[in-house]
Chains A and B, each alone.
Chain A
Amino acid sequence: DAGVTQSPTHLIKTRGQQVTLRCSPKSGHDTVSWYQQALGQGPQFIFQYYEEEERQRGNFPDRFSGHQFPNYSSELNVNALLLGDSALYLCASSPLWGGEGTEAFFGQGTRLTVV
C-alpha cells in the first residue's frame, strides 16, 4: 500500500517564475492538505482540498493556489516566486470524516529552492 507520494523531490526555480508541485494521496484517502516548512520551523498549513474544492485556507497569499482531481490527487501552484518561498512543501492526506484514528499522513515533501 503506497503512502503519500510527492513529485518532484527537489526543484530549483528563479524569482518571478511559477512552480507546480504534485501529490498522490494514500490509498483510501480523499482529503489533501498542503503545508510549507521553512528551514528550522514547524510546518505551516496552506490549504485543504476535498471534493475538488478548497475547504480551508491558512494565512498565505493568493499566489498560492491548488487543485484536486477526481482521483483525489492534488497540485500546489505558486506564482511570482519570491526568495522567501524557498521551503519544504509537504502534502498530507486523510479521510474527511476525521474521527479517531484518521490523522493526516505526510509525504516526504518537495524541497523548493528559489534563486
Chain B
Amino acid sequence: GQQLNQSPQSMFIQEGEDVSMNCTSSSIFNTWLWYKQDPGEGPVLLIALYKAGELTSNGRLTAQFGITRKDSFLNISASIPSDVGIYFCAGQRTSGTYKYIFGTGTRLKVLA
C-alpha cells in the first residue's frame, strides 16, 4: 500500500538536543498530522495542520504544513528521554473520510 516518505528513518540524539524530521508525498494533502507511537501502543496525535504554510506548536513540538501541500516537518526542541518512540506523519485528502496515508516512521532514541 501507499506510504509517505519520512526521513530520517532513525536517529540517536543527546538529551537536550533539537530534532527535525520531515515527510514528503508525490501528491497533495489537505490535512497533515503527526502521531507518536510507543511500543505496544496505538498512535497518539501530536499535532494537526490544516492550511498550507501553517506553523503549529504543541509544547516543545512545532510542525509545519508545506506550501506545496506535499510535505510537512516536525521539530522537537530540547529533547528529553520520554521523547523516545516512533513518529509518524499522516496525510488526509478529504475531510471526514479518515482515510489517512501514513509515513514509514522515524524512530527516535534519546541518550541521557
Contact = CB atoms under 8 A, between A and B. Distances in A.
Nearest to B44: A106
A17 to B, nearest CB: 24
Contacts of A101: 48
Interface stretch (A38-46, A69-77, A78-86): A38-46
B88 A103 contact: no
Contacts of B40: 108-109, 111
Interface residues of A, number: 32
- Where chain A touches its partner, the secondary structure class is loop
Contacts of A31: 98
Contacts of B102: 42-44
A50 B39 CA distance: 29
B99 A43 contact: no
A47 B48 CA distance: 22
Interface in B1-31: 1, 3-4
A61 interface: no
Contact of B43 (A40, A100, A106): A106
Residue of A35, A43, A98, A108 with highest tally of chain B CB at under 10 A: A43
Interface of B: 1, 3-4, 33, 35, 40-45, 48, 50, 88, 90, 95-105
